[in-house]
Structure 1
Amino acid sequence: MKRRLAIQIKEAMRDASLQLALLNHQVGARLKLRDVDFDCLNLVSQHGSLGPGALAKLAGLHPATMTGVLDRLEKAGWVARERDPDDRRAVLVRAAKERGREVLDLFDDMNGKMDEICTDYTADELALIAGFLRRTAAAGREATATLTE
């Protein structure tokens, strides 16, 4: 029974992953961003200011590819490149905070649906689910790093 439930969880995660990827694709298209550009914008938004090399590693992209992504994002006003205050030779990439509302507005429907779903669970159940999702995301990062080495 436990094995069958584990298989059901993997199938549900695969479906959720696909649906969220499709949602991200639609949001990115509305913002006139390529999928890879939107992914990188999300990484910068999530992690804060990053060096281009660190961002390339997180995204699993070649540094030369990252240069093109950053050029497009900067030209469209989604990110800014700034000098690293700790190393004047280095550059940091930060998300343009003034553009963040544009992205959030496109996720309003999904965020509302997630709020509705969460009301069906107790605080303890939500804590369990959040922990499971954090562990799943960490496993995904590790698997991605393995494939990009």
Structure 2
Amino acid sequence: MSSISSGSARDRRRTVTAIKEALRDLRNQLSLLNHQVGRRLELKDVDLDCLELILKHGAMTPGELARRAGLHPATLTGILDRLQKGGWVTRERDPQAADRRAVTVRPVKDRNAELFGLYSGMNSAMDGLFEGYSEDELALLADFLRRTTALGRTATEELSAD
């Protein structure tokens, strides 16, 4: 009886290891895809990361963006300069803010189609992949990815706190 549970535990470890390895492979492949998208748009990888955060979360202060990206505010200044120069974002002063220097970073909506067009091949391929899964399987995958993302966010925050 012990050998069955030991074999089962070993199988589980192998499966978990395979999932972790597949996630590392996925991270690497998505990083390479993003690098190619950034190259086409003449954006550095970190610039594209910050642009994605702004597009996802909407207008925010540079300080909020620095926290979300885990970057030092001085580093973010250069990134925002490049994004603004490229026509991807605007920086607007907030006339209602107590601090007259307060700025809000906003995405330039006219540029979204250009960015999203570069991901259209991957998105179409994924739509085809999803057709092979049931609604329950898709729900499980979505839950796994959300929870994995949350774990990644926590690990990132812990590392950026140092």
**Structure 1 position 13 matched with structure 2 position 8:** no
Normalised to the residue count of structure 1, the TM-score between the two structures is 0.96
Aligned-residue offset at 1:25: 0.3
Gaps of 5+ in 2: 1-10
Amino acid at match of 2:64: A
Q: Comparing 81-90 with 91-100, which one deviates more in the overlay?
A: 81-90
**Structure 1 position 29 matched with structure 2 position 39:** yes
Deviations 1:30-65 (A, max 9, x none): 000011111100111111111101111111111001
Q: CA RMSD in A?
A: 1.2
Instruction: Provide the aligned length of Structure 1 versus Structure 2.
Output: 149
**What CA distance in whole angstroms lies between the structure 1 residues aligned with 2:120 and 2:59?**
25
Aligned-residue offset at 1:2: 1.8
Corresponding residue number in structure 2 for 1:94: 106
Report the CA distance shift for 1:106/1:144 in structure 2 as closer, same or farther (over 3 A).
same
Q: Comparing 73-82 with 85-94, which one deviates more in the overlay?
A: 85-94
**What CA distance in whole angstroms lies between the structure 1 residues aligned with 2:98 and 2:127?**
44
Q: What fraction of aligned residue pairs are identical, expressed as a percent?
A: 57
Corresponding residue number in structure 2 for 1:147: 159
Higher radius of gyration, 1 or 2: 2
Corresponding residue number in structure 1 for 2:3: none
**Secondary structure of residue in 2 paired with 1:87:** coil
**Structure 1 position 74 matched with structure 2 position 104:** no
Aligned-residue offset at 1:87: 2.3
Corresponding residue number in structure 1 for 2:123: 111
Report the CA distance shift for 1:86/1:7 in structure 2 as closer, same or farther (over 3 A).
farther
**What CA distance in whole angstroms lies between the structure 2 residues aligned with 1:127 and 1:30?**
34
Aligned-residue offset at 1:84: 3.8
Amino acid at match of 1:126: L
Normalised to the residue count of structure 2, the TM-score between the two structures is 0.88
Aligned-residue offset at 1:86: 5.5
**Structure 1 position 122 matched with structure 2 position 152:** no
Amino acid at match of 2:50: C
**What CA distance in whole angstroms lies between the structure 2 residues aligned with 1:58 and 1:129?**
25
**What CA distance in whole angstroms lies between the structure 1 residues aligned with 2:44 and 2:98?**
31
Amino acid at match of 2:36: Q
